[in-house]
Copies of this chain bind each other. A is one copy, B any other.
Amino acid sequence: MSQPTVKYPRMDAHSPVLRELAALLGDRLTSSPAVLERHGQDESYHAPCLPDAVVFPESTGEVVGIVQICARHRAPMIPYGVGTSLEGNIAALRGGICLDMGRMNRVLEVNAEDMDTRVEAGVTRKQLNAHIKDSGLFFPVDPGADATIGGMTATCASGTTAVRYGTMRDNVLGVTAVLADGRVIRTGTRARKSAAGYDLTRLFVGSEGTLGVITEIGLKLYGVPQAISSAVCPFATLAGAVDTVIQTIQHGIPVARIELLDEVMMEGVNRYSKLTYPLLPTLFFEFHGTAASAAEQAQMVGEIAREHGAAEFQWALRPEDRSRLWQARHDTLYAGLALRPGSKALITDVCVPISRLAECILETRNDIEASGLIVPIVGHVGDGNFHLLVLVDPVDQAEIERAWKLNKRTVERALALGGTCTGEHGVGHGKIGFVEIEHGEAVTVMRQVKMALDPDNLMNPGKIFRQ
């Protein structure tokens, strides 16, 4: 089980790196314990790991200045959005300087005619969607949390809409990044496709801050569909729900969202969001299109669902009902935690080929029953991606060990089925061992790329692979 062990000596306020940063940033450098604490812990079960200081840059130029100072003094640098990562991705494993990107929160351009935008890294997805509300456009990638676009880019986030609109990998047009030596590069263009050399954009998407600090991101936007309809549909059995998903995908029906919540998760949702859904395995759907095509999709999916033991769709037709429905879905982490007050969640994130989804989920459910733990299941099942929220007492090491074993078995099963250990949460320091099993020699190539760009290993060290 990968847990941080190395504790580097802390810097004190007189250390040269902090003095130089203070000269550059004034009171936008802090080592206040409360701020350090907030920046050393994400939403995961991993133990906190605090940075020595937090800085709040306001421009790419300031990031360059910060990086140059840190590089000169060999201080680790950890970019930070809002801390919603789930694998310790922002833990300051070796101390160093946390770059909180929250003040770089300007939407720089909205090109409505081209359906694209350029934002600073600290813009959150809800802020972006509020900003473009009147343009008839929206940014679809939706991991649930109101994460920053920079953080979503760095971890290759996705979420409920990826089945239709893709992940961050598919929706980032380019980035501006500050490298470990202070150089600034701009990848990509505003063109929708390019074959102009190595795809550095995709190299930075999912690099988790280990190759540089992403300061700006170009994104695709989409026209708000003419018709949007959402529905909830309970099933007699978990197998019936999963098989409905598989057939929907195999038929190529372009659903915008198709989310599974098992009956344990539904109990949490009902309690947390004060709802009264049946306590059954349930699919949450959304359909986007013209009025005719959205209706056609719903009708086709409805037929498949009925064949698999579904009750009727419960439609949420008004925008406010839809919002309530998806808010309930997005609150599943908190709803899960509320099933066991005081717990933290170890969240698995496997993703498998769609044909193997039923066996993967059903065998995993047997493991859950054998484990004796409380483990709601929720997932972006249209992508073959699902999560176990393994609820653990964070101070009970034996229980964490049991949770970890369940995680490990689930990952091993997914890899055996041709899948991946992480569909969307990234590696952080929590999944390093799994990525080695999944990618073998290719991890060495990742490390070579990292070392070519960051030979002193200062950019978010200890993440993605052993260094």
Contacts and interface: CB of A to CB of B under 8 A. Distances in A.
Interface of A: 111, 113-116, 155-158, 162, 167, 169-170, 179, 183-187, 189-200, 202-203, 205-207, 222-223, 225, 246, 250-252, 289-290, 292-293, 296, 349, 351-356, 383-385, 414-415, 418-427, 431, 434-435, 438-446, 448-453, 464-465
Number of copies: 2
A193 B451 CA distance: 26
Given A193-B167, A199-B206, A445 B115 contact: no
A307 to B, nearest CB: 17
A350 to B, nearest CB: 8
Given A418-B189, A442-B186, A452-B448, A114 B197 contact: no
B453 A187 contact: no
A196 B292 contact: no
Contacts of A464: 197-198
A1 B66 CA distance: 41
A292 to B, nearest CB: 6
Contacts of A292: 292-293, 296
A441 B185 contact: yes
A426 B196 CA distance: 6
Given A185-B445, A198-B203, A191 B423 contact: yes
A258 to B, nearest CB: 13
B384 A195 contact: no
Nearest to A291: B296
18 contacts: A111-B355, A114-B356, A116-B353, A155-B195, A156-B199, A189-B419, A191-B418, A191-B420, A191-B423, A192-B384, A194-B422, A196-B435, A197-B443, A198-B207, A198-B449, A223-B252, A293-B296, A448-B452
A113 B251 CA distance: 10
Contacts of A434: 196
Contact of A251 (B223, B423, B440): B223
A384 B145 CA distance: 34
A90 to B, nearest CB: 15
Pairs A-B, 4 closest by C-beta atoms: A113-B355, A452-B452, A202-B202, A190-B418
A260 to B, nearest CB: 16
Contacts of A351: 191-194
A188 B3 CA distance: 26
Given A252-B223, A453-B445, A427 B353 contact: no
Contacts of A197: 206, 427, 435, 439, 442-443, 446, 464-465
Nearest to A251: B223
Given A223-B251, A223-B252, A422 B200 contact: no
